[in-house]
Amino acid sequence: MKFFVLSFLLCFNLTLGQTVYESMESEFLGTSRELKIQLPRNYEENSEKYYPLIVVFDGDYLFEVVAGNVDYYSYWEDMPEAIVVGVNQDGSRSEDCYISMDDYLPSKTGAQFYDFIENELLNFMSENYRTLNFRVAIGHGKTANFINYYLFKDRPVFNAFVALSPSLSSVMEENLTNRLSLESKSKTFYYLSTAALDLKRNHKQIMALNNNISAIENENLLYGFDNFDDANHYSLVAQSIPKAFQSIFLVYQPISKEEYKNHILTLETSPVDYLIEKYYMIETLFGIKKQILVNDFRAIAAAIQKTKQFEYFKELGKIANKQHPNTVLASFYIARYYEETGKPEKAMDIYRSAYTLEEVEGYTKDDMFDRADQIKQEYGF
């Protein structure tokens, strides 16, 4: 019985992803720093797969919240699987975030910690784990202010920033607003949060900062903000993390009812082109070549049907054949094209050919055969 329980717990832990504990020597810090690293589910089995990197400052208490959300939302494909690394700052937080009162930049131990992250930690992760170049920095309070300094480089080492109730240093509000206003060739994701019961100084400064950022007109800035009514400085973290991931990885998510209604149905161009562009953006932004979800094929097909633009079924079928070969998906759309464009006999033949193919997520052989029978009865073939 003990063996069974132990085996179950081990399997459960592996299913949820593997947590690795590392002690990393740092020349910049002159000491070692403890790391917690969560690897995606089936990391070892998917030996050719690379993942975005999420760096969690305040890893001594913030890591588990972030890692749990990453595992959960990636399971439902609302965000990509990712490698999460938490940096232990217990007992060193103030020194790590030391800012000079002369120029309001990281100085002394703060400069050393800054260099440790940029020049040692990121290199360590890329050399020892399969990480992509898309990186997210997450901080709370002091560290939420500190991560902003990585934005001020010409080529920031992070693509996305999650600032949870930042304790803003002097001139940060102005400098950050100016930096986010600058046009750049790449997208910058920035998420900011506070709460009604947040620290009074933080809340006041963050609300002012939000007003400034919201007024920025920069198509390469993707900005999200929340001011929670029922949270304080600490409890806002649990509410912020999922909202931050939703904001950053919005395009990665399956097509929702809102996206279908407000964006796809109102298109004046091809809905199939919309689908292609969506997945091109995912590859461009995150470096991930994602297979088009059946859910998203279904949404585009529904739009074609509703708008009676039946000629797009053929193009959708060609894409389905590449993305989900040997399934009934492509045949279904191509048959729909012939059925709606005056070639029912050809549609019937394609429906009937489904017996050699695999079913996929609600597209069944029985449905294909039923459609073929309906055409035969209607036209007397």
What is the pTM assigned to this prediction? 0.91
Sheet holding 131-140: strands in order across? 18-26, 31-39, 83-87, 51-56, 131-140, 160-164, 188-197, 221-232
- The pLDDT score that the predictor gives to residue 364 is 96
pLDDT digit string (tens) for 7-28? 333 444 444 568 999 999 999 9
What is the reported pLDDT for 17? 67
pLDDT at 380: 81
Q: Does 6 map to a domain?
A: no
Residues 359 and 285 in one domain: yes
CATH code, domain carrying 213: 3.40.50.1820
Q: What is the pLDDT of residue 15?
A: 44
Q: What is the pLDDT of residue 381?
A: 77
Q: Tell me the C-alpha distance between 134 and 188, whole Å.
A: 11
pLDDT at 119: 97
In a domain, 278, yes or no: yes
What pLDDT score was predicted for residue 235? 98
**Strand pairing class (83-87; 31-39):** antiparallel
Give the H/E segment covering residue 223. Answer: strand 221-232
Contacts of 10 (CB under 8 A, 6+ apart): none
270 and 219 assigned to the same domain: no
Does residue 214 sit in the same domain as residue 305?
Answer: no
Whether residues 165 and 225 fall in one domain? yes
Whether 374 is covered by a domain: the verdict is yes
pLDDT digit string (tens) for 106-148?
Answer: 999 999 999 999 999 999 999 999 999 999 999 999 999 999 9
- Same domain, residue pair 213 and 105: yes
Cα–Cα distance for residue pair 118/149, rounded to 1 Å: 11
Q: Which of 235, 252, 269 is the last residue of a domain?
A: 252
One-letter amino acid for residue 358 of the chain: E
Give me the residues of the chain with pLDDT under 70, please: 1-17
Query: What are the E-state strand segments in 57-97?
Result: 83-87
